[in-house]
Structures are given as C-alpha cells and as structure tokens.
Amino acid sequence: MRMAVQKDKQAEFFCFQDYSPAERMADRVVHYIGVSLGLAAAMWLLVQAVHHGGTILVLSITLYVFGLVGMLGSSAAYQLQQPSLLKERLRRLDRAMIFVMIAGTYTPISANVLIGRGGIWLCVVIWSLAAAGIFMTLRYPRRFERAMLALYLAMGWMLLVLMHYCFALLQPVVLALIFAGGIAYSVGAALHTYSKIKFYNPIWHTLILIAASCQYLATYLQLFRVP
C-alpha cells in the first residue's frame, strides 16, 4: 500500500504539460532572450546603484536584480529540462523565485522613495508573504497552486494600499509603467490557467518579459533619471 501511494505521488510529480516541437522552440527562444536581456539589465542597474547611491539603494537594487535574474534563470532551467526528478525540483524553484521577484521588485522604490510613507512596512509585509509563499511552494508542491497564484496576484497589486503616496511621489510615466507591468502580469496569470490554448506557454512567458521590462524601466527612471 505504501509503495502504491509513493508511486502515485511520483506520477503526479512527473506529470508535465506536453508541447509541440514548435511550441518548445518558441518558448526556448523567449527564454534565451529573457535571460540574456535580464543579465545585461541587472548588471547595468547594479552599476548605476553603486555609482549614484548609498547603501540602502545598493542593497535594494541587489535584492531586485537577484529576484529578476533568479526568476528568469530558474524558469529557463525548468522549461528546458526534460521530464525527470530534476525537472520537478526546478519547477519548485521556478515557482518559489516568482515570490522573490515580486518582493524584490517592490523593494527599491519602497525603501528609497516611499520611505516614511509606509514603504518600509510594505517591504516587511511583502517579504513576509514571499517567505510564506516560498515555504508552501517548496514544502507542498502542486498542492496549493491556485492559492499560490492568487497570492502572486495579491502581492503584485499590494502597492494600491499606498497609491495616494505613489501619486504624490512618483512621476506619471513611472506610475504608468508600474500599472502596465501589473496588467501584463495579471493577463499572463489568467492566460496561464488556460493550458489548452496553443502556444500559451511562450505567450505567457512573453507577457512576463513585457511586465518585467515595464517594472524595470519604472525602477530605473524613478531612481536614476527623475530629478
């Protein structure tokens, strides 16, 4: 009986979506572009932080780019791996790094622009939720996936609680980019639930790249280009 249960669990863990060769190729191209651009963008932002900012700015940007590159890299590693125990473990890492990415994205603006306006509390809450999400994702893989998706979305829009400060302290173009990124993430998350749509996986990952690009530009413009 115990062996049967273990086999059922293994079968569940090794159950991965099957894609056509064209879909896999498209997804591979999206990931190659994403990882390459992500690494270059991360290095550039770190250089800007070191040259123009203090300790808080450098640390917050470091957390952000760690989440950015970690999310893109773990997603690429997971998607390009053949079905195996390693792929299952990479899948967990992929899901966990999304939490790091979300929390990391909040950190630079919250810790440097919204400080004294609830930004520090927002960082504490968002990283606490990220830690809880990472624990649930790694400890109970595949068990609470819809709840984790809901948590991704809730965390992604949590900036709304400080929106009155954002309107006062952030430039209009920065706000527009933040909202555009949030919408792209949300549309991608909704699309991700419809796995029967052809090419949904590369489309989903393309939306993630668009969203990440919007958030990156918002961070760069607010911290390094806005007077």
The pLDDT profile of the chain, 227 residues, written as one tens digit per residue, is: 443 334 444 445 567 777 788 988 999 999 999 999 999 999 999 999 999 889 999 999 999 999 999 999 999 999 888 888 899 999 999 999 999 999 999 999 999 999 889 999 999 999 999 999 999 999 988 888 889 999 999 999 999 999 999 999 999 999 999 999 999 999 988 887 776 778 888 999 999 999 999 999 999 999 998 55
pTM of the model: 0.90
What is the fold, at CATH topology level, of the domain defined by 20-224? Rhopdopsin 7-helix transmembrane proteins (1.20.1070)
Instruction: Please measure the distance between the N-terminal and C-terminal CA atoms of the chain and give it in whole angstroms.
Output: 67
CA distances from 160 to 111, 143, 176, 213, 217 (A): 16, 29, 13, 20, 19
